Amino acid sequence: MAILEIIQYPDPRLNTPAKRVEKIDAATRKLIDDMAETMYSAPGVGLAATQVDIHKQIIVIDVSEDHSDLRVFVNPEVTRREGVAVNQEGCLSVPGIYDNVERAESVTVTALDRNGARFTLNASGLLATCIQHELDHLQGKVFVDYLSDLKQNRVRAKMKKRQRKAA
Ligand code: NI
């Protein structure tokens, strides 16, 4: 396995919409495994392929505390949204920035798993938030996009300053 480089906001590659995965082959499974390892090592609770500059509809999520609940979503689609919940979110592509985002409180999602089997999942709470956050990535959207223009400008300035320092 390998740790992949995570693209940092406001890199425009984060705005690339992901394409559907046509076939889950050995290369797809290797990518899934590398994404999981990258997420765990960050550490984070979710990662979309978009964030490692691969524009395919693949998400990995594990909201457990002991890394025991890895969930893989290939070509995910939300078929039900219910309720409203506001939660503080962060993102591995926007490290150190956290803010409230309003989303559906519960969702139903259908997707393919690592073996290409279709499944349907009803999720609420942190898992539902995480699924919606990662699905946004596949559409080229980052949670910062939900914040006010003022906040977005602040986040952008902070990130650019940090990237200049690191360079
Ligand atoms: Ni994110």
- 102 as an active site residue: the answer is no
Ligand 1: centre distance to CA 28 (Å)? 20
pLDDT digits (tens, 9 = 90+) for 111-135: 999 999 999 999 999 999 999 999 9
Residue 72, amino acid: V
Rounded to whole angstroms, how far apart are CA atoms 94 and 10?
8
Ligand 1: centre distance to CA 135 (Å)? 9
Catalytic residue among 5, 65, 82, 134: 134
Percent of the chain topping pLDDT 70: 100
Give me the pLDDT at residue 50, please: 98
Give me the pLDDT at residue 167, please: 83
> Look-up: residue for tokens 């360079």?
167
Give me the pLDDT at residue 166, please: 86
- Residue 81 above 90 pLDDT? yes
Percent of the chain topping pLDDT 90: 96
Rounded to whole angstroms, how far apart are CA atoms 76 and 97?
26
